[in-house]
Structures are given as structure tokens and as C-alpha cells.
Amino acid sequence: MPKCVLIVRSAHGELYEPAWNRALNEIGVRSAIFDAHKCLLPGIAGRVEEHYLRGPGIWRANRRLIERVRRERPEVVLLYHGHHFNSATIQELRKWAFVTGCHCDDPFGRRGRHEYRLLMKALPYYDAYHVNRPCNVGEAKAMGIKNVSVLEQYYIPWLHFREPLTPADRAKWSSELVFVGHAEPDMRVECFTRAIRLGVQTRLFGGEKIWRAALAPDVFERVRPIQWIPAPDVRKALSGSKIGACFVSKWNRDECTNRTWEIPACGLFLLAERTPSMQNLYIEGEEAEFFDSPEEFIDKVQFYLKNETFRQSIAERGYRRVTASGNDIFSRMKKWCADVDQWRGEGDVLCGSPSDVATACSSQPLESRFS
């Protein structure tokens, strides 16, 4: 395994870089985080920089990352999402370390999005990259990345587990049907619209603005507020419900998602959109239930709300499957380390002496390379 890894943070949320950092350290890899967000300007100015990927904060993030890598000399630099960093920075980093990246979304299928502007130009200069779905492998290699492998999402044992709720927690988080995620213009809108209008006690957690636009006013009023919640509250929301709904993102061309494992890991009955990946992970009708349409979704919601014994039996078998399946973050990090070890053994990393790198870095002003 690599001895020292610097994780470069461009994403948001505790499920990503902070979880990777903890898991790597716990399996014996010395790991630390460089947080690009801390380099941005405060307040609205920083949000503008984040949106347009321009400004002194973006230059500062690129410059400080190079300075830290030159100073600390990690074996591997992992850019998670890498939205803030341009091709000049990646080329500089490769002179000091093996530079790899990872993205949990699908930048290859949505190249026109502004947040991918720097990333897509920089990708050909990475030594290696982990993608989240098989269709991305060929797309990443076509951009010039030689080493590409799939690394699926996961559940996090210290965040996703069966938690007995207090009476106060029950009052706050209880529901018959729960979904944690964003709105998309797919059948999730119709599924929840029908469930809510039929009187199913439904809780949605996600971005309220996009859910407000997706749902009819009468439906939105019954289910509001729809807020993003931190991971410990996600666990409570899952633990306090009877059915956990799981939809896959069409925007990201997903066949599974974090909720695929998080829901059963919290001991909740999983009702998931039917995909080949889901069918490979769980035995339908024994460890989870699936659906293809709003009609099938509603039929199964109503059936399993009325049949608690069946529902709890499937939830228990799903829990046993997920906790024994190697889909936790520790298993993913071991695979990540094995891939990186294999790739580094091929001699693809470009190394330069300190004097070579110092000459290259002093040949032009930093700001001119980060514009």
C-alpha cells in the first residue's frame, strides 16, 4: 500500500474526502487532506469563484497545493473531483508524486456543465483515475488516461448502522416512506406524488429548491421542508422509517448509488429501482424489493406497509447481505490502494529532481499559469 497520500478536496460532504481520509489512516496508510474550499474568498465572493472557477482563490488553491506537495512529498496525490485544478497544476504535481483522481458523479456524460470546465482539460495529464461506473472506463481512456478502474460507492460503518432511536428521535424522524436525495425529472417525482396523495407518510430530504420545482404545489406543501441533512441525521431518518426508497440518477447514468448500501446497513427495508447492478447485489423478494414503474412502486409500498413480518424479514436479510458483502468504505480503500500499487509499479509516474522542479516552477509567474 502507499505509505503517504495527500487527498485534495473539491467535493462537499463527509461521505467523500473526510471518509476516505479516515478509512485510509485506519488501514495503515498515512493520509491528510488539502481542502481547496479553504483557499477561496469568504462569503459571496467565494461562491462566485466556486461557480466560475476563476479568481484569486482559485489561483491560491493551485499555488498552495503545489507548494504543499513540494514541501511534504507524498507518494500519491489524490484529487477527489478536482474541480478547482487546471492542467498546469497537474503537470507540476506529477514531477513530485503519482497523481490520481476520482469522481463519484459522471463528468464524462455531462461535459457541458461549468463545474467540469477545468477538470476536463486537466484529465489527460493525470497518471490514473477511478470512475464510478463501467461506461466511464472507455471514456476516460479515450481522453488519454492510461490507468482507469471502476471504484463503486459504499456505506460507511461508523455512519451507517442500526441505531435504536429515543422517543424524541422517533417523534422527529419517523415515517412510512423515506428518500434522501435530489430531484430529477424521472419517475421518482411521479412515485412520490402518488404515495403522498394516497396518504403514505413520506419524508424527503434533499435540495428544497429543485424539489419545489419538481412537485405539484399541493404535494410539496404536504412534504415540506425538504432539506439536506448531515450523515448522522440521515442514519436517524433511515432508522425511523419503514421503507427506504432508492432511485438511481439518470443524469449520472447510475445503476446503483450510496443508498444501495446505506439503507440496508441501517437495518431498513430497501425498495430500489430495478437495474442489473441491483439485481446482482440483492436477491429480489428476499433481501430487497425492486420496481420498474410508479405502479409497481405504489403496489409494493402498500403491500409491505400492511405486511410488517415480510418487510422486517427482508430488511434483516438485506442487512446481513450488505454487512458481509465487502461494500463498505474499508473494502473500497483496499481496492483503491491495490490499483494504485499496480499502476505505480508500471513506472508511469514522471519524476524529476528537486532542482528540475524548482527550475520549472520558477520559469513563469504562478498566477499566469493558473488563469
Instruction: Please provide the size of the chain in residues.
Output: 371
The predicted model scores a pTM of 0.88
Residue pLDDT tens, the chain, 371 long: 899 999 999 998 889 999 999 999 999 999 999 999 999 999 999 999 999 999 999 999 999 999 999 999 999 999 999 999 999 999 999 999 999 999 999 999 877 788 999 999 999 999 999 999 999 999 999 999 999 999 999 999 999 999 999 999 999 999 999 999 999 989 999 999 999 999 999 999 998 899 999 999 999 999 999 999 998 899 999 999 999 999 999 998 999 999 999 999 999 999 999 999 999 999 999 999 999 999 999 999 999 999 999 999 999 999 999 999 899 999 999 999 999 999 999 544 333 333 333 333 333 333 333 33
All structural domains of the chain, each given as residue ranges with its CATH number in brackets, are: 4-154+328-369 (3.40.50.2300), 167-323 (3.40.50.2000)
Answer yes or no: are the C-beta atoms of 84 and 11 closer than 8 Å. no
C-alpha cell at 317: 436479510
User: Which are the contacts of 359, defined by CB distance < 8 A and separation ≥ 6?
Assistant: none
DSSP 296-354: HHHHHHHHHHH-HHHHHHHHHHHHHHHHTTT-BHHHHHHHHHHHHHHHHTTT-S----H
Pairing of strands 147-150, 98-102: unpaired
